[in-house]
Each structure stands twice: as C-alpha cells, then as structure tokens.
C-alpha cells in the first residue's frame, strides 16, 4: 500500500502541533487530551488505562490475534535551538528526540485503520505511552495495569537520525542496551590542602576509582560482549585549599544482556571498595535501576524483515549494529514477543543527533513509518 499525500500531510500537521506544545515525562496532560480527541473522532474505543498514557482499541475482522503498536509521547527538558519549520513554544522543554513524530505516526495509522477496518484481521491496540525519557517508566506503569494481558505481540519504532533516510533497520536479539545509574560516595577525611598527609583525600581516591573501574570493561568482560561504565558527574569540595570529607561519583551502566547487566554493578562496587580501602577510605554505593536491554524476538524479527523485504523497495531493509542507547520498550519485550526497529531519517534536513537542541525530524520519513505499520497490520494472519 502507499501512504496518500492527504494522510502524510495530516500526519505532518499533527506532528508540528505536538512539537510546538511539548510536555515532560509524566506531565503530558494536554498531549493526552489532544490524542484523545482525535482517537474519539476516528471512532476507536479508548480503554481504561491511567492518563497521561492513552490506549485505544480497534477490533479486527478475525480477532483471534491482538497486536499492540506503541508510540512514546513525552519531550525533554532542553531549550530548543535552530531555525526550523516549527519550534517549541515552551521554554526549556522540546521534542528533540522524535516522539512528536512517533505520536503523529501512530495517530495516522489509527486513522488509516479506522478507514480500512474490513481489511484488518487482528485486533489492534494503539499505545500512546507516557514517560519514556525519564522514570518512572510509562511502559512499566501500563504493564502493571495489565496492558500485556490483552496482547499476543507488540511492535514499536523510532525515527532514527543515525540511519540513512529510506532505510528501515532491525536487529534480531539484543538491539539496544540496558541503562542503569549509580551513585558512589567515597568517604575520606578532610583537612588543609597544604597538609594532605594528615587527610584521606577522597578526590584523589575518586580519581583512582574512575580509572580503576574501567578495568572491569577491559579485563573482566569478554571483549565480544559490549558494555559501558561512564562517570558523568563528580561532586566534591568547596574551594581550592580544602580537602573535603567526601567525593561523589554519578554514572551510567550499559549492557546488552541481562546477565551482564546484573553482574556489572556488583563488580563495580567490589572494585571501587577495594581501591578505596587501599587508601584508607570507604564507600557507599547506590544503584538506580533503569531499563533492561531491548531484545527482539527472533521469530517476530524474521516476520518483520519479510514484511519490509516484500513491501518496500530493494535495499530498504538493513541489519543494523546494536546501539548503546536505551528504550523502555524493552519492558514489553521482557514479557511478550515483539520487535523494535529504526526508521532512518539521516539527511540534510536531519543532521543533528537525538537530544541535541538543534535536532529536527526529516518529515519525509514519516510516510515510510506509517506505511511500515500499515503493511505490518496487513501481513498479519
């Protein structure tokens, strides 16, 4: 099937509206109402799930199978920059990841489905999910409310700037990394900067810990198993000539398997404790659980590949490299078969990376994403 110019224009108009009025994770109340109005206009049933997420239902002609299609609806706490077709009207909040496009895509698929009910065999559940960017996860909240009990399979996509426009990328198995955060406090003994021998300098110990924990990646993990430990923030001290009592490291842990994800913080705490004790210091360690790795089901991934290969021009499909970025779609995939994929949009119109203040969507990629979801629906048995 081809996406009509009318539907493509309809999608772009919605994307631009949503882009101008972004809302942060868990606060997408206006976005919820906007989606709700248009879903009601399309004649779809709105199911009883907690706002600001919204879940809509369309029965299929056969109805023995139910598939979920998911988009995320939240924005980021970033001041948008650059000259664009449309720009955020809210200071310090912006859609610079692509969720405005995802929402418009799913709205458009719902519109197409409502107008082509007689062609659709499975029941369809449209999931407009809150809070993908920041916890608590909107995916976890919907799962706790019983969403996955309705579904046989679930699918999601991301407009992806690193992937060339005109490509659809997928990887069976581990495609995106887990994301957890840690807070590591090094307890020393402060004093005068001129008399370091009378102190246990937590800043010096922190420097050794930062260096030492990288040995976990280089010497304790199989080189064929990607993982990341990054310290992104260090807080210590008040002025130039005082050695403080404490130094605090904040960082992220990334892995592609649940086994490495579980092992990584245990090993980090063990290594950091050993280094600190060697210098007479001690540590406190706190792990903040985030999202598990995105692990696509192998059978569903093969089905998706065949949909793309048979429905799109040659060389549209691409087996991609795994990404260290994270996605809370992974929570769904822990419990139900499904697949998450990338729709490429790298071009002159979309040349800045996700989460950059200058990031923008190449709106020509929206049609391909709509078409993919529609083809996926039509290929369901």
Query: Locate tokens 């290969």: which residue?
Result: 309
Annotated active-site residue 132? The verdict is: yes
Question: 134, 355 in Cβ contact below 8 A?
Answer: no
Q: Is 17 helix (H, G, I), strand (E, B) or coil?
A: helix
Contacts 24+ apart (CB under 8 A), 220-223: 220/267, 221/260
| Number of alpha carbons in the 13 Å side-chain half-sphere of residue 14 | 26
Inter-axis angle of helices 29-41 and 99-115, nearest 10 = 20
Q: How far apart are CA 202 and CA 244, in angstroms?
A: 7
- Long-range CB contacts (< 8 A, 24+ apart) of 309-315? 311/371, 311/375, 311/379, 312/168, 312/368, 312/371, 312/372, 312/375, 315/167
- 74 in active site: yes
Element (H, E) at 161: strand 153-164
Label residue 355 left, alpha or beta by phi (over 0 means left) and psi (-120 to 50 means alpha). left
Tally of residues, the chain: 381
Kindly give, in sequence order, each residue whose CB lies less than 8 Å from that of residue 61, ignoring residues fewer than 6 positions away: 117, 118, 119, 120, 121
How far apart are the C-alpha atoms of 293 and 198, rounded to whole Å? 46
Annotated catalytic residue: which of 23, 74, 269, 328? Answer: 74
What the block records as the tokens of 318 is: 């691409």
Q: Report how far apart, in Å, the C-alpha atoms of 305 and of each of 115, 122, 164 are.
A: 26, 19, 17
The one catalytic residue among 23, 80, 132, 318 = 132
Q: Which residues are part of the catalytic machinery?
A: 74, 132
């Amino acid at each position: 099937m081809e996406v009509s110019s009318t539907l493509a224009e309809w999608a772009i108009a919605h994307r631009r509206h949503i882009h101008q009025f972004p809302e942060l994770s868990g606060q997408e109340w206006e976005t919820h109402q906007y989606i709700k109005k248009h879903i009601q206009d399309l004649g779809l049933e709105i199911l009883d799930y907690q706002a600001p997420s919204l879940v809509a239902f369309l029965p299929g002609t056969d109805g023995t199978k139910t598939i979920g299609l998911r988009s995320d609806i939240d924005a980021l706490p970033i001041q948008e920059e650059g000259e664009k077709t449309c720009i955020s009207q809210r200071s310090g909040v912006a859609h610079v990841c692509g969720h405005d496009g995802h929402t418009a895509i799913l709205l458009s698929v719902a519109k197409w489905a409502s107008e082509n009910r007689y062609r659709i065999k499975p029941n369809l559940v449209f999931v407009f999910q809150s809070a993908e960017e920041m916890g608590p996860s909107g995916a976890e909240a919907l799962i706790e409310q019983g969403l996955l009990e309705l579904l046989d399979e679930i699918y999601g996509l991301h407009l992806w700037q690193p992937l060339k426009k005109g490509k659809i990328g997928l990887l069976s198995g581990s495609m995106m990394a887990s994301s957890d955060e840690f807070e590591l406090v090094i307890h020393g003994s402060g004093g005068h900067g001129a008399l370091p021998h009378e102190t246990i300098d937590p800043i010096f110990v922190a420097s050794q810990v930062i260096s030492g924990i990288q040995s976990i990646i280089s010497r304790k993990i199989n080189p064929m198993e990607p993982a990341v430990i990054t310290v992104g923030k260090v807080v210590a001290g008040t002025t130039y000539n005082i050695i403080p009592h404490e130094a605090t490291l904040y960082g992220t842990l990334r892995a592609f398997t649940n086994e490495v994800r579980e092992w990584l913080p245990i090993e980090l705490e063990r290594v950091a404790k050993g280094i600190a004790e060697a210098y007479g210091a001690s540590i406190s360690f706190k792990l903040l659980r985030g999202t598990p790795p995105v692990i696509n089901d192998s059978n569903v991934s093969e089905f998706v590949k065949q949909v793309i290969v048979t429905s799109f021009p040659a060389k549209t499909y691409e087996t991609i490299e795994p990404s260290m970025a994270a996605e809370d779609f992974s929570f769904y995939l822990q419990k139900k078969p499904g697949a998450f994929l990338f729709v490429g949009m790298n071009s002159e119109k979309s040349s800045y990376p996700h989460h950059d203040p200058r990031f923008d969507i190449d709106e020509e990629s929206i049609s391909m994403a709509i078409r993919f979801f529609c083809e996926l629906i039509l290929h369901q048995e």
